[in-house]
Chains A and B, each alone.
Chain A
Amino acid sequence: MQVAWIWGLAGGLLIGLGAAVYLLGNGRIMGASGILGGLVDSTDRTAERLAFVAGLIGMPLVLWLFMSPAPQTHLTGNLPVVIIAGVLVGVGTRIANGCTSGHGVCGISRFSLRGIVATLIYIGSGAVTLYLLRHMLGWV
């Protein structure tokens, strides 16, 4: 637990490095929802998007296989909650045109007002949702 922040910082640097490679190499914003969403509703740059998703799935799997103890996601087993949350994340990130990577990492580092405002709103919304459901209702 004491070293969690060091791993957080190291992992964060890798995430930022990935975003920098994507920006300086391809001239694109590295946003997970945008790249996946583009596969859903456009035929633009499909090969690039698929390659990105392949790396995003493949690399953690390879590392996960060699890590001991193997990291767990600890996702709730309540499937209706999982489905509702998944739909909200899918709809919300596409309407807002960005998520934690696009608006958060790439937007804030550009001092983009949109990125900063979106990040404040989804963190606030997430905190309020968790407070209501966990501490008021005891559901999650």
Chain B
Amino acid sequence: MRVLISLLAGSLFGAGLLISGMTDTTKVQGWLDVFGNWDPTLAFVMGGAILPMLIAWKIAARGQPLTGGKYPQASRPELDRRLVVGSVMFGMGWGLSGLCPGPAIASVTYGGIGGVVFLIAMIAGMFAAPVVGAQLDRAANPA
């Protein structure tokens, strides 16, 4: 059941990314290009995606998930060095390429060799992340 729900959620997510134009890097870079030919599409995508989730969080506030267990708690502390530095790095890569993780996975079959190279580089980055994260913690708390 959980596997089927995951397949359904991934399929909806992928369909939405393609239909919304978010696997087109010119649209994403167009959103980030505030001083160029600015493209507001991403705001509509984000707004559209947030609507069902506003309702979902309301439902989640009472009761438990369909397959049992508990809903995820908000993490503490809320803001830390990892969140800030990681988001800055992510934004740099996002601005450079116009790809974030969802669209990078969704478009891998039709994004040509560049799309495959991006996905491999991203996964390599995910392998390296624990090391970089540990460095960051050491810099924050020198022994």
A95-B5 contact, Cβ under 8 Å, with A58-B11, A106-B53, A109-B57: no
A123-B19 contact, Cβ under 8 Å, with A51-B6, A86-B117: no
Compute how far the CA of A67 lies from the CA of B100 in the bound complex, rounded to whole angstroms.
Answer: 23
Please give the distance in Å from A21's CB to the nearest CB on chain B. Answer: 5
Please give the distance in Å from A101's CB to the nearest CB on chain B. Answer: 5
Please give the distance in Å from B37's CB to the nearest CB on chain A. Answer: 11
Compute how far the CA of A79 lies from the CA of B104 in the bound complex, rounded to whole angstroms.
Answer: 15
A11-B46 contact, Cβ under 8 Å, with A36-B105, A55-B9, A91-B132: no
Contact residues on A (Cβ < 8 Å of other chain), bracket: 35 or more
Q: Is the CB of A92 within 8 A of B8?
A: no
Q: Is the CB of B59 within 8 A of A24?
A: yes
A68 at the A/B interface (Cβ < 8 Å)?
no
Q: Is the CB of B53 within 8 A of A75?
A: no
Find residues 57-103 in chain A having any chain B CB closer than 8 Å to their own CB.
Answer: 57-61, 63-64, 67, 70-77, 79, 81-97, 99-101, 103
Find residues 4-54 in chain B having any chain A CB closer than 8 Å to their own CB.
Answer: 4-27, 29, 32-36, 39-54
Q: Is the CB of B89 within 8 A of A32?
A: no
Q: Is the CB of B87 within 8 A of A94?
A: no
Chief secondary structure at chain B's binding surface: helix
Chief secondary structure at chain A's binding surface: helix
Residues of B contacting A53 in the complex (Cβ-Cβ under 8 angstroms): 10, 105
Residues of A contacting B92 in the complex (Cβ-Cβ under 8 angstroms): 85, 88, 92, 125-126, 129
Find residues 1-34 in chain A having any chain B CB closer than 8 Å to their own CB.
Answer: 4-5, 7-30, 32-33
Please give the distance in Å from A34's CB to the nearest CB on chain B. Answer: 9
Residues of A contacting B72 in the complex (Cβ-Cβ under 8 angstroms): 27-29
Q: Is the CB of A19 within 8 A of B56?
A: yes
Q: What are the 8 tightest A-B residue pairs by CB atom distance, in nearest-first order? A: A90-B125, A12-B48, A11-B20, A125-B91, A86-B121, A96-B86, A55-B10, A88-B93
21 residue pairs of the A-B complex, CB under 8 angstroms, read: A7-B20, A9-B20, A9-B44, A12-B16, A13-B52, A20-B56, A36-B123, A55-B8, A56-B13, A61-B110, A75-B99, A75-B114, A86-B125, A88-B125, A90-B122, A92-B89, A94-B129, A94-B130, A104-B49, A114-B74, A122-B94
| Interface positions of B (Cβ within 8 A of A) | 2-27, 29, 32-36, 39-57, 59-60, 64-72, 74-75, 78-79, 82-112, 114-115, 117-130, 132-133, 136
